[in-house]
């Protein structure tokens, strides 16, 4: 309709999570109508982020500085490391503003079916951070999946020799959640972790 440039742009936009061909066309059209104020700033932001953002050598968080903003923050509690599967989980915890320790991004979980073994995870630096630093507790905040549980179990074994306390985030009824829509596993976990009120 409007040359290969437009089709190519729509094709790339459609591959973004949450976008499809229809929304990609709408986004492309909106930007094409304001190239200076919409397209070029986004192009520059993408180029800049691709150029500057790298995984933190300490924790694996994505940041334009290394060590990352969190690892470099003197106000962070250095006695705790929260282990997450991915940077998206780290972002979610930061948005919740409920945790003030350090993080460690595992970059996945053990998954024999997908061929992901211990050597594919960001574990070696976790062990060296614990032995070299002042860490007293490692909180495993992995997904409540079979692979997440297996990884938590395996990590607990790996961390045992360091003497650090290893905990896992609680499982149960999410805030605002109705019981009748929860799966059996969550209901079982909620009952198992019941507390005196």
Residues that bind its own copies (CB under 8 A): 1-6, 8-9, 12-13, 15-19, 22-23, 25-33, 35-36, 38-50, 52-53, 61-65, 68-70, 86-88, 90-91, 94
Q: How far is the CB of 97 from its own copies (least distance, A)?
A: 11
Biggest CA-to-CA distance, the chain: 67
The minimum distance between CB 99 and its own copies, in angstroms, equals 12
Residue 167 DSSP symbol? E
| Cβ-based nearer residue to its own copies, 39 or 190 | 39
Q: Report residue 88 as tokens.
A: 């998206």
Nearer to its own copies, 26 or 160 (CB): 26
Residue 14 region by backbone torsions, left for phi larger than 0, else alpha for psi between -120 and 50, else beta: alpha
Of 62 and 166, nearer to its own copies (C-beta) is: 62
How far is residue 105's CA from residue 89's CA, in Å, rounded to a whole number?
9
Peptide bond into 94 cis (omega under 30): no
Contact 70, 78 (CB under 8 A): no
Q: How far is the CB of 131 from its own copies (least distance, A)?
A: 27
**97 vs 196, which CB is nearer to its own copies?**
97
Q: Write down the least CB distance from residue 187 to its own copies, Å.
A: 27
**Rg of the chain on CA atoms, in Å:** 21
């Amino acid at each position: 309709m409007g040359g290969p440039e437009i089709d190519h742009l729509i094709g790339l936009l459609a591959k973004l999570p949450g976008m499809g061909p229809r929304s990609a066309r709408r986004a492309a059209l909106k930007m094409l109508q304001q190239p200076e104020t919409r397209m070029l700033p986004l192009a520059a932001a993408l180029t800049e982020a691709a150029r500057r953002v790298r995984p933190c050598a300490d924790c694996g968080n994505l940041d334009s500085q290394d060590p990352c903003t969190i690892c470099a923050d003197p106000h962070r509690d250095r006695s705790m490391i929260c282990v997450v599967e991915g940077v998206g989980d780290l972002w979610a915890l930061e948005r919740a503003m409920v945790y003030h320790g350090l993080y460690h991004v595992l970059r996945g979980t053990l998954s024999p079916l997908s061929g992901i073994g211990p050597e594919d995870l960001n574990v070696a630096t976790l062990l060296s951070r614990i032995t070299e630093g002042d860490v007293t507790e490692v909180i495993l905040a992995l997904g409540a999946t079979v692979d997440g549980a297996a990884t938590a179990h395996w990590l607990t074994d790996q961390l045992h020799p360091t003497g650090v306390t290893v905990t896992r985030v609680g499982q149960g009824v999410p805030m605002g959640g109705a019981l009748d829509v929860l799966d059996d596993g969550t209901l079982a976990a909620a009952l198992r972790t019941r507390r005196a009120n």
